[in-house]
Structure 1
Amino acid sequence: MEAEQNHQNVPEGYKVLKEGQASILYKEEKLQADLEGKIRTGKGKRNCTDQNDTRGTVFYNPVQEFNRDFSILSIREFAKIRQEEKQKKNKDHDGISILEALAATGLRSVRYMKEISPITKLLANDIDSTATELMKKNFDFNNIDPNLYQICTQDAIDVMNLQRMNKTFFDVVDLDPYGTAVPFLESCLNSLADGGLIAVTFTDMAVLCSRTPHVTFYKYGGSPLNKRYCHEMVSLSVLIFHQALRLVLHMISQMANRQQKYIEPLVSLTVDFYVRLFIRVHDGPQKCHSSITKYSHVFQCMECESFWTLPFGTHTEQEITKEPSHKWQKPENINQEDAIKTRQATKKQSNQNQQEEEKESEKKLKDKYQVSRISSIPNRCTVCEGPLAMGGPIWNGKIHNIEFVQRLLEVARNNSDKTHADYQKEVKLGTTKRIQAILAAIIDEDQCGESPLNWDFSQISSSLKMQNPKKNELFNAFRSVGSKLTQTYYDPRQYKTDASPEVIYDIYRAFKMKECNGDQDKIFRNINQLGFAHRILSQQAKIIPNLNGDPIDGVEKETKKNKKKKYLPNPQPHWGPAARATGNKK
């Protein structure tokens, strides 16, 4: 986001901020310090400094430029998919309709109008009159056609419920609140068209990462476990956000199911300090049946890093065979001529019956759902014999549609490739490099299939008092035992694998043996005899990995070949959530 000082017709007291193709007016005001030199914030009193003594009258955070860029890229591609689907059904497609229920400055809505085409209607709403006044200025400032948008000052929940009442459903509903989006989700689903897209942000990571699980449970319907993979489930560490993402998806899916709708996550991100989800929502009670297989409890060992997931239910297909039906008819007294006609008709009917019987005798498949048996989860950890804790429930299904991600990556690459034929046509995004890096990492991560949570191998190394194996050695070791391994898209220290906990610890036992040259004294040095690490190292390995060989394959080769950075640093210092706006409160 760039600030422009010299711009025509800028009202006094405002400055112009440029992002993408939008230029918006923005106003800040000084906070009054008390006699002690402190200012009042949402988290109490703080010392007044140059970094925190001003607040925007309307909420705006430049850190969210990636969020807005990614949203534009995703909605553009969704609009193309929407058009393709309607063309297959021979239906006209004039464009998409968008609702931004919490629009603040209107920056996101202005960018949507200028960078996404075609849009038939956009509704920008905010409950704060200061925000909507600024919004109107910004739409005028950017010369947006007033026939294509509407600005209203209402409660977001009322606005979305009104759309259902009037049956004016939107193709896209964008929710980007300050904090949690939970209060708005039921209404959001009410206002969404069949097959529509929800783009929703959650920034209340302190709750999702809470060490008080009862708070997370009553707000999100699930409890996090305070372990490293909680990046999919969550703790305050940047390593732990992913468990939060799956808690949120589980909650949204349940809300949709209650309205006889089901969700299809297109892209699910945990970046910086927030969760951002792009979810298609379809009508169809029949598809809701499979939800029981997509929710899982997580069972975590309280001593080592092992964990297991148990879905609420299982799905099988049951074969059903229909027996051919034979109808008996009472014979009648008929003459010879009628008898000939009857025989001819009977022969014709017989052929028809035979064809029908062949169809009836065909085997049909019927979906069958059953609750899971808890016997598939051990009573104690099978690696270290430690006790298990239960967390969740979480969403255990796909969190990305890889075909959609590949489409986004192709467009993002074209966006920065000056040699591409469509380079001049593409709207340039300021965070294209970061978008490409994350999308490529998501595709890489997908090779591990349905493995829902991640592993922090540095914790295993630490507990076993050994050095962290090199990344190339890890990839080779897992490949040698027939398992897949990949780094997560959000943290290079986190890994996903389809290997079981027993196999993972067998691999690390082998690395420990190699590091100590098989010397038992060195292996158990500084290891507490009563601790879980001693129990792990005392066990006989069932699988022996090959720790020598070609270290890199697959996507890792491509990463080195293309010399693309997979993880980019924060572009600015103080990268994090912004303070609340002052609004119309004086």
Structure 2
Amino acid sequence: MQTQDYQELTEGLAKITFLGSSKAFYNPVQEFNRDLTVTVLRQFVSDRLEEAKNLKELSNGNGEEEPASKRKRVELKVFKKDEPIRILDALSASGLRALRFAKEVPNVGYICANDFSDNAVASINRNVKVNGVENIVTSNFGDAVEVMMAHRGIDKRFHAVDLDPYGSPSLFLDSAVQAVSDEGLLMITCTDMASLCGNTPEACYNKYNAIPLKHKCCHEGALRILLRCIDSHANRYGRYIEPLLSVSIDFYIRVFVKIHTGQIHAKDSVTKLGHVLHCTGCQSLSTQPIVKKTVDGNSRKFTPSVFKPDIFEGNNGKCRHCGSSVHITGPMYLAPMHNEEFVKKLIQRLNSTPNEQKLGTHRRLLGTLSVISEELHDVPFYYELPEFFHVLKSPVLRVVDFRSAVLNAGYRCSISHANAKSIKTDAPLDFIWDIVRTHAKQCNITSLPENLPGHVILSKENSHTINFTYNSKAISKSQQEGMLRFQDNKGKNWGPKEKAKGSVNSIYAGFQAEEYMKKEREGLKE
């Protein structure tokens, strides 16, 4: 095929060439994913350089007062924070992601664009030349697990590793947490939402060692299952994660976590985990930590938590709100999924971007991050507001009235970026059901058939006074400013693309990679 037969496509500052239709490998819906990743990497690099600057000032300020050995350690830290970063695009395909990193992220010294396909590597090589980034991007043909394991040595690790597989990343997690440098960035995408959101609990357990939550907040549950799985792999090597940003987007989830090293803090990871109890009738949720930590001076003691779920009625194992059965899910990561300071920096970066330099999905980036910044980070899980009222067969209360009632009682509330109809609050469920019950009775719903979960809830008396008076804080800043908070993506390009023809199935990962490559060279087909 002649060079002139190639077509060209531009995204950001990168160009990729292809034969025939771009539909074969390019999904425009994923532009938001790539734009978000570029934004996070830019801030990650900026933070590293800022730390290096502060360390330099500290070193210069101390002068000769500090011992030479300490000054040397500070200088070494400065060098490590100041040096150009190394990035691994472990599953690179056309190389678009690696090309954008090379052209749009500052202070990048080396990018390894890896793929387990001869066609993909040929495409990467061609696109590297088209973009003129031969000095930064290097292609590599190999199994991602083997590549990451080859870089597990401290002096070989990458500052950032990007995993964007077709489906589940579970096969790559153990090697990924070893290939990231200390305080490095691990970026992971999951598109196997069916298993993570409760449709196939056995598949989720096989991949992530957790039972998923089949609930309206299942997308947050998916994020917390993934975070727990990454942290679990890291803990085996005396490492632990710091979630910077965790997002549910379109048909997938994506997390950005820092990897830290330290046995003491790695042991604390177990205190961030817990099971989630889910009522099958009224959809009420309750969390149950696994382990508690007691600190007495220098003594740190970990003991199993006492089982005290606030969802059970007596010893009958039924929901105390409606009398239905309760499912046990998890374990999941119950600590905050985002770093509030980091999210604010991302928003500031976007707001200060000149118009000519704005990314293609700038408006959506700003809206999504603004909603995330407004979320209650210390409150795990959310409810979809209409589901409360559907239990009592009641018309749905206006969101502003519901939020006003919560705020007037002295509790906090927000929405979640994962669901436009969500409500996240620290108000107890007894109070929430009092709101729903009050509104239902105002709508003349006084009784329900005994076989419905709502019958028990409706028959109870309120234990709180409900005040629906308008509260100005009931409307969030992002809503007042008319930001693009949620986007309807269902349309022509909706959903993940089909798996590329000739791509390597996950069954060939790891130990079977060498055998597969041998067959490829011999021209055999499975």
TM-score bucket (shorter structure): 0.7 to 0.9
CA distance in 1, matches of 2:206, 2:139: 34
User: 1:290 deviation in Å?
Assistant: 1.3
Letter aligned with residue 143 of structure 1: G
What is the match of residue 45 of structure 2? 79
Deviations 1:418-476 (A, max 9, x none): 5xxxxx6xx43100000001001001113xx4211111221121120111001110111
Q: Is 2:307 the counterpart of 1:387?
A: no
Q: Is 2:178 the counterpart of 1:211?
A: no
What is the match of residue 346 of structure 1? none
Contact 2:241-2:259 within 8 A present in 1 as well? yes
Q: Is 2:305 the counterpart of 1:375?
A: no
Q: Return closer, same or farther for 1:559/1:159 CA change in 2, 3 Å cut-off.
A: closer
User: 1:267 deviation in Å?
Assistant: 0.4
CA distance in 1, matches of 2:449, 2:30: 47
Equivalent of residue 282 in structure 1, options 254, 260, 271: 260
Contact 1:72-1:115 within 8 A present in 2 as well? yes
Which deviates the most, 299-308 or 401-410? 299-308
CA distance in 2, matches of 1:531, 1:568: 35
User: 1:246 deviation in Å?
Assistant: 0.7
User: 1:288 deviation in Å?
Assistant: 1.2
Q: Return closer, same or farther for 1:532/1:312 CA change in 2, 3 Å cut-off.
A: same
CA distance in 2, matches of 1:166, 1:486: 42
Give the structure-1-normalised TM-score: 0.78
What is the match of residue 523 of structure 1? 446
Higher fraction of helix: 2
CA distance in 2, matches of 1:438, 1:488: 10
Give the structure-2-normalised TM-score: 0.86
CA distance in 2, matches of 1:440, 1:22: 27
What is the match of residue 506 of structure 2? none
What is the match of residue 94 of structure 2? 105
Residues 259-270 of structure 1 mapped to structure 2, 5 A cutoff: 259-270=237-248
Residues 245-324 of structure 1 mapped to structure 2, 5 A cutoff: 245-318=223-296, 320=297
Where 1:375 maps in the other structure, the secondary structure is: coil
Where 2:102 maps in the other structure, the secondary structure is: helix
User: 1:166 deviation in Å?
Assistant: 7.9
What is the match of residue 233 of structure 1? none
Number of residue pairs aligned between Structure 1 and Structure 2: 477
Unaligned runs of 5+ in 2: 57-77, 504-519
Q: Whose radius of gyration is greater, 1 or 2?
A: 1
CA distance in 1, matches of 2:221, 2:309: 22
Q: Is 2:508 the counterpart of 1:580?
A: no
CA distance in 1, matches of 2:14, 2:2: 14
CA distance in 2, matches of 1:582, 1:13: 21
Q: Is 2:148 the counterpart of 1:163?
A: no
Contact 1:60-1:104 within 8 A present in 2 as well? no
User: 1:557 deviation in Å?
Assistant: 5.2
Where 2:139 maps in the other structure, the secondary structure is: strand
CA distance in 2, matches of 1:81, 1:190: 22
User: 1:561 deviation in Å?
Assistant: 4.1
Where 1:172 maps in the other structure, the secondary structure is: strand
What is the match of residue 412 of structure 1? 350
Q: Is 2:153 the counterpart of 1:175?
A: no
What is the match of residue 455 of structure 2? 534
Q: Is 2:368 the counterpart of 1:438?
A: yes
CA distance in 2, matches of 1:160, 1:399: 25
What is the match of residue 385 of structure 2? 457
Deviations 1:247-277 (A, max 9, x none): 1111111000011101000000110111111
CA distance in 1, matches of 2:483, 2:37: 23
Where 1:164 maps in the other structure, the secondary structure is: coil
What is the match of residue 63 of structure 1? 29
User: 1:553 deviation in Å?
Assistant: 1.1
Letter aligned with residue 155 of structure 1: D
Unaligned runs of 5+ in 1: 1-8, 30-53, 231-240, 321-364, 419-423, 517-521
Identity of aligned residues (%): 32
Where 2:112 maps in the other structure, the secondary structure is: strand
Contact 1:261-1:284 within 8 A present in 2 as well? yes
Which deviates the most, 383-392 or 191-200? 383-392
Letter aligned with residue 473 of structure 1: D
CA distance in 1, matches of 2:99, 2:164: 15
CA distance in 2, matches of 1:557, 1:105: 40
Letter aligned with residue 310 of structure 1: Q
CA distance in 2, matches of 1:158, 1:461: 52
Q: Return closer, same or farther for 1:557/1:211 CA change in 2, 3 Å cut-off.
A: closer
What is the match of residue 357 of structure 1? none
Deviations 1:4-35 (A, max 9, x none): xxxxx992432101000011102247xxxxxx
CA distance in 2, matches of 1:283, 1:452: 26
Q: Is 2:159 the counterpart of 1:135?
A: no
User: 1:572 deviation in Å?
Assistant: 5.3
**Aligned-residue CA RMSD in angstroms?**
2.1
Equivalent of residue 16 in structure 1, options 8, 15, 18: 8
Equivalent of residue 108 in structure 2, options 107, 116, 119: 119
Letter aligned with residue 220 of structure 2: H
